[in-house]
């Protein structure tokens, strides 16, 4: 069996994306709390997810040319600095325009880490790239697991949820000191027949749909689960915020084992399995009224969600015909649409039919992903010979 070798660059990339994971998974539980402070509707609160999307979209549009000009390392370190500025803006005021701007800035900076990291690990590890990408996202989910807990603890101890997000700033500073001399790989050249082309093949774009649908499921669950735990299951603010941890914990566990499975099992089959596991957990979560069973089903959902992005993006990069940075950047566009459009649509629908009914957006997205996996499967050797 092929083994994954983890060196200093690998661990640095893991921790860099972990910083964004902390922000992202800590951000979700703060939205309902901020909504209470601002006294706004779920539709308006959902604009914070849209702000994340706008920031990610703007980042995805410029990250590829910036990498070509400055290199992957400077772009990723600069992204973390901007992420910290976004956090300061988000927690610095309860005025809606300011909090929206902070969310947008945080996502803009964070995407300069998330978009290149898949290409970095793919180029650095070659055939074990999918496993490394899965592990990177496992670390992000693992670090993100503690974020809702810290938010809940900060609320319970009267420090306030803002203190939980500000905790990331000294961590990023320390990581910058420790990892400042690590060199990042130069992007590999595309095959001769594709050099100079900016068009990606059709199979890549179908895989892009799979990644986008999977990210939409993740953001819908992370941003709105705390709200449904409060309304449907009667949990308090601190408990509901901490309850999001069950999803992120499932994602962490799934990505740890998913990375190992990706060394042995076809990525497409693993994605089918992930959809089935997430679907099963969602059905239980949607029908139950018992809080312990709901939290257990959220853990199962997280296990399924865990593989959507890392294996989906690895599969899309493999279909990009030697253009991993461009493929990752275009996937970033899909992530922006998913992270904003999915939660906003769910929030707007919840204002009309209730949060419970609005969550039926999730199985629709799972069905779209399953269809996309089938449509974007690589041609068999027999088909190529024909």
- What is the predicted pLDDT for the residue at 194? 47
pLDDT tops 80 at residue 376: no
The CATH number covering residue 294 comes to 1.20.1250.20
pLDDT tops 50 at residue 385: no
- CA nearest to 104, candidates 296, 339, 277: 339
Q: What percent of the chain has pLDDT over 70?
A: 93
CB count in 10 Å sphere of residue 101: 18
In tens, the pLDDT along 230-264 reads: 888 888 877 887 788 888 788 888 877 876 777 77
Specify the pTM.
0.69
Strands (E), the chain: none
CB count in 10 Å sphere of residue 219: 25
What does the pLDDT average to over 73-77? 89
Higher per-residue confidence, 37 vs 109: 109
Q: What is the DSSP string of 125-171?
A: HGGGHHHHHHHHHHHHHHHHHHHHHHHHHHHHTTS-HHHHHHTHHHH
Would you give the distance in Å from CA 47 to the centre of its chain?
Answer: 18
How confident is the prediction for the chain on average, in pLDDT? 83
pLDDT band at 298 (very low <50, low <70, confident <90, very high): very high
- What is the predicted pLDDT for the residue at 380? 54
Q: Residue 194: inside a domain, yes or no?
A: no
Q: Residue 385: inside a domain, yes or no?
A: no
Q: What is the DSSP string of 294-351?
A: HHHHHHHHHHHHTTHHHHHHHHHHHTSSS-HHHHHHHHHHHHHHHHHHHHHHHHHHHH
Domain range holding 213?
8-182+200-378
Q: Residue 308: inside a domain, yes or no?
A: yes
The total number of structural domains in the chain stands at 1
Q: What percent of the chain has pLDDT over 90?
A: 23
Q: Residue 169: inside a domain, yes or no?
A: yes
pLDDT band at 386 (very low <50, low <70, confident <90, very high): very low
Q: Residue 383: inside a domain, yes or no?
A: no
């Amino acid at each position: 069996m092929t083994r994954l070798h983890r060196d200093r660059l690998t661990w640095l990339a893991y921790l860099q994306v972990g910083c964004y994971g902390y922000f992202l998974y800590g951000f979700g539980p703060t939205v309902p709390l901020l909504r209470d402070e601002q006294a706004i509707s779920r539709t308006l609160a959902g604009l914070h997810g849209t702000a994340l999307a706008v920031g990610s979209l703007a980042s995805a549009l410029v990250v590829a040319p910036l990498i070509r000009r400055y290199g992957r390392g400077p772009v990723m370190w600069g992204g973390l600095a901007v992420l910290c500025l976004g956090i300061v803006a988000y927690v610095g005021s309860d005025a809606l325009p300011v909090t929206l701007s902070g969310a947008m800035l945080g996502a803009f900076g964070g995407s300069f880490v998330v978009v290149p990291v898949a290409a970095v690990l793919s180029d650095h590890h070659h055939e074990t790239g999918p496993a490394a990408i899965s592990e990177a996202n496992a670390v992000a989910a693992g670090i993100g697991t503690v974020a809702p807990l810290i938010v809940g603890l900060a609320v319970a101890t009267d420090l306030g949820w803002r203190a939980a997000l500000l905790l990331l700033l000294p961590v990023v500073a320390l990581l910058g000191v420790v990892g400042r001399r690590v060199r990042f790989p130069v992007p590999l050249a595309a095959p001769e027949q594709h050099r100079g082309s900016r068009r990606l093949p059709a199979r890549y774009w179908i895989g892009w749909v799979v990644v986008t649908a999977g990210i939409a499921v993740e953001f819908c669950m992370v941003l709105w689960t705390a709200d449904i735990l409060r309304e449907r299951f009667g949990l308090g603010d601190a408990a509901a915020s901490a309850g999001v941890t069950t999803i992120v914990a499932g994602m962490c566990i799934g990505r740890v084992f998913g990375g190992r499975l990706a060394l042995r099992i076809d990525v497409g089959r693993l994605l089918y399995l992930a959809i089935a596991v997430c679907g099963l957990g969602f059905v239980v979560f949607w029908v139950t009224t018992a809080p312990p069973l709901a939290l257990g089903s959220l853990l199962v959902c997280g296990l399924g969600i865990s593989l959507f992005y890392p294996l989906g993006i690895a599969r899309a990069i493999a279909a990009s015909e030697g253009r991993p940075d461009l493929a990752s950047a275009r996937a970033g566009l899909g992530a922006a649409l998913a992270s904003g459009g999915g939660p906003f649509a769910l929030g707007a629908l919840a204002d009309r039919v209730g949060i419970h009914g609005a969550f039926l957006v999730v199985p629709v997205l799972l069905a779209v992903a399953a269809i996309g996996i089938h449509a974007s499967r690589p041609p068999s050797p027999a088909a190529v010979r024909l």
